[in-house]
Amino acid sequence: MLPLRQKIGLELAKPIIDRVIREHPLTTLFWECTLRCNLKCRHCGSDCKVTSELKDMPLEDFLPVLESIARETDPHKVMINVTGGEPLVRQDLEKCGKAFYELGFPWGIVTNGRGLTPERYKSLLQNGLRAVTVSLDGIGDTHDWMRGVPGTYPLALKAIRMVAASGEVEYDVVTCVNKRSYKELEQIKELLIGSGVKAWRLFTVFPVGRAANDPELRLSGDEFRGTMEFIKCTSKEGRISASYGCEGFLGKYEGDVRDHFFLCNAGITTGSVMADGSIAACPSIRADYSQGNIYRGDDFMDVWNNRYQIYRDRSWMRTGDCARCKYWRYCRGNGMHLRDARGELLFCHLHRLQEK
Amino acid sequence: MKARIKHIYEIIAGAILSLLGFNGCDIIFPVEYGMPYATFAVKGTVKAEDTGNPVEGIKVKFRQHVEGTVDEHGNPQYREIEFYSDKDGKAETRFTEWPDVKDIEIAFEDVDGKENGGWFAPDTLRGKDIRIDLEEDEKSGWHTGTYNISFEEKLKKAAE
């Protein structure tokens, strides 16, 4: 049962969210610039390797995507999130960033921080870098266990402290909460506050990629509720802005553990260009749901304007438990990345909140 | 009319959500991956210094340096927006950009030679010659507001 406050809030927001879905303005574009990575994360949803058989997408292949977007929208309102793999393994990242900047697009990176030296950071800033997300998945060995390479914790922490101290970009820290890091949440919080961090995003693992068969990564119902309570209390304290990642309708926690009510933005405000040229919605969504491919001659904005119907009308998801769920009108079938190849829902956050 | 009703609804809904302890309008529009940006409304007049008459057809270049960015030679990089003065000497433009006004300049260039009142020398305004007012009424989410940037340029005649 939803508390009255949440119910009023969700009902008031619903017509506005429905309008955003109808208008589907592109505001975020992920570019999976490489599949190469310098870590071996347990939870990784990408098919990353230190050396990938799939070559990095050349900048000149990606630029027509941005030119297509710039012809129809204000580029300053579309954020390019460079992701991977690990974007910092690309030696031409500065050149790429410069080209984005010159076309008028703000851009940022999602990084494990291992390669973010002061010299590299300065060089990226000089080429228009405006946002950084760094991952920190626990204290000391917990982080290294999650990231699969010993000695990465101090490097991530150093990168976080450097970015926080510089004050030159928008940044946040993301933490994947698992059975080990769950016990360290208070410690991580104090560490981040002490490091000058202002924004912290926590997420939990969904059962895809390497995480599919790893029970240590999955929280119990109690632990999941505990995470929500932790975020809620941390936000109330006001010492650091803590929020839960973008996935899942969270019932009584809606609006209290995130700055916004739940909406899976994939294909609504978020698009992606993957390393193999696929035009997708969000990088976490399986390839079955791609909408085109730049290497097959598809124009990005043409695809954005004329395809993506499965993202904008999600009534096809209303099967199984979703068909009987009274919160469908607010949840709309959870995140698209939680749908398998047949369209079945792999994980329901609301169920997990109700489990023991 | 429909758009106006929607707009009013969104303002009222945002106010009620704030009263309920939610994050106002931001609760509706996820800003997780947003970027700060500002609207720049640049407006001014171009006149001849000697006669005070408006000068038409002057190319006005608004130049902004975003802190930290450099060109391929390591020099500060400037983004340029071009527009022209009309028959009343008025020149204006509106665009969105990274909210940084610490280093801006407005340059003027006579590109039509002796037409429109004669040949004028190029000039550049900086610092206190440019008025900057930040209007925060439209501030929401990552939008930091509108910079109203105004100028009054008096061009000198070019040497023959």
Could you list the pLDDT tens digit for every one of the 160 residues in chain B?
A: 777 887 788 888 888 888 888 875 554 444 444 566 788 999 999 999 999 999 999 999 999 987 777 777 878 888 889 999 999 999 999 988 888 898 999 999 999 988 888 899 999 999 999 999 998 876 666 678 899 999 999 999 998 7
Nearest to B29 by CA among B143, B134, B137, B135: B143
What letter represents residue B29's amino acid?
F
For residue A199, what pLDDT is reported? 92
Task: Specify the pLDDT at position B141.
Answer: 62
Q: Model pTM greater than 0.95?
A: no
3-state secondary structure chain B: CHHHHHHHHHHHHHHHHHHCCCCHHHHCCCCCCCCCEEEEEEEEEEEECCCCCECCCEEEEEEEEEEEEECCCCCEEEEEEEEECCCCCEEEEEEEECCCCCCEEEEEEECCCCCCCCCECCEEEEHHHCEEEEECCCCECCEEEEEEEEEEEEECECCC
Instruction: List pLDDT tens digits, range A307-343.
Output: 999 999 999 999 999 999 999 999 999 999 889 888 9
Cα diameter, chain B:
70
* B138 Cβ contact list (under 8 Å, min separation 6): B39, B145, B146
CA A90 to chain CA centroid, Å, is 20
Residues of A in contact with B28 (CB under 8 A): 13, 16-17, 20, 260-261
State whether residue A140 is helix, strand or coil.
Answer: coil
Long-range contacts of B5-8 (CB under 8 A, 24+ apart): B6/A19
| pLDDT tens-digit readout, A67-121 | 999 999 988 889 999 998 899 999 999 999 999 988 989 899 999 999 999 999 9
Chain A closest-CA separation from residue B23 CA (Å): 6
Domains, chain A, with CATH or none: 4-354 (3.20.20.70)
Helix (H, G, I), strand (E, B) or coil at A21: helix
Cis peptide before A85 (omega within 30 of 0): yes
- pLDDT confidence of residue A273: 97
Q: Are A67 and A29 in contact (CB under 8 A)?
A: no
Give the pair of three-digit tokens for residue B122: 């190029």
Quote the minimal CA–CA distance from B70 to chain A in Å: 5
Q: Are the beta carbons of A170 and B23 separated by less than 8 Å?
A: no
CB-closest option in A15, A20, A79 to B9: A15
Look at residues A65, A69, A57 and name the one whose alpha carbon lies nearest to residue A33: A57
Q: Which fold has domain B33-155?
A: Protocatechuate 3,4-Dioxygenase, subunit A (2.60.130)
B37–A77 CB contact, under 8 Å: yes
Q: Which residue has the higher pLDDT, A285 or B155?
A: B155
Instruction: Give me the DSSP letters along A237-272.
Output: HTSSEEEE-S-S--GGGTTTSSSS-----BTTTEEE
**CA neighbor of A20 nearest in space, from B30, B93, B122:** B30
Beta-bridge mates of residue B42: B93, B149
The minimal CB distance from B17 to the residues A9, A27, A243 is found for A9
pLDDT of residue B29: 46
pLDDT higher than 80, residue A244: yes
Q: Is the pLDDT of residue A130 over 60?
A: yes
Q: What is the pLDDT of residues A188-220, one digit of tens each?
A: 999 999 999 999 999 998 666 566 677 888 888
Interface of B with A (CB under 8 A): 6, 9-10, 13, 16-17, 20-23, 26-37, 66-70, 79, 95-98
- Where is pLDDT greater, at A52 or B117? B117
Provide the β-strand partners of residue A278: A293
pLDDT at B32: 45
How far, in Å, CA of A200 to CA of A181, rounded? 14
How far, in Å, CA of A177 to CA of A133, rounded? Answer: 16
Distance CA B7, CA B2 (A): 9
What's the whole-number average pLDDT of chain A? 91
Report the first-to-last Cα separation within chain A, whole angstroms: 17
Q: How is residue B61 written in tokens?
A: 């270049």
Identify the three-state secondary structure at position A333.
coil
Mean pLDDT of all residues in A293-308: 97
Q: Name beta bridge partners: A243.
A: A201
Q: Identify the pLDDT of residue B30.
A: 42
A·B CB contacts under 8 A: 93
CA distance B38 to chain A (A): 9
Q: Are strands A270-273 and B123-126 parallel, antiparallel or unpaired?
A: unpaired
Largest CA distance in chain A: 55
Whether residue A350 contacts residue A250, with contact meaning beta carbons closer than 8 Å, is answered with yes
Q: Tell me the Ramachandran region of residue A48: left when phi exceeds 0, alpha when psi lies from -120 to 50, beta otherwise.
A: beta
CA neighbor of A32 nearest in space, from A280, A300, A204: A280
Interface mutation vs chain B, best among A19, A98, A259, most B CBs within 10 Å: A259
Cα A332 from Cα A349, distance rounded (Å): 13
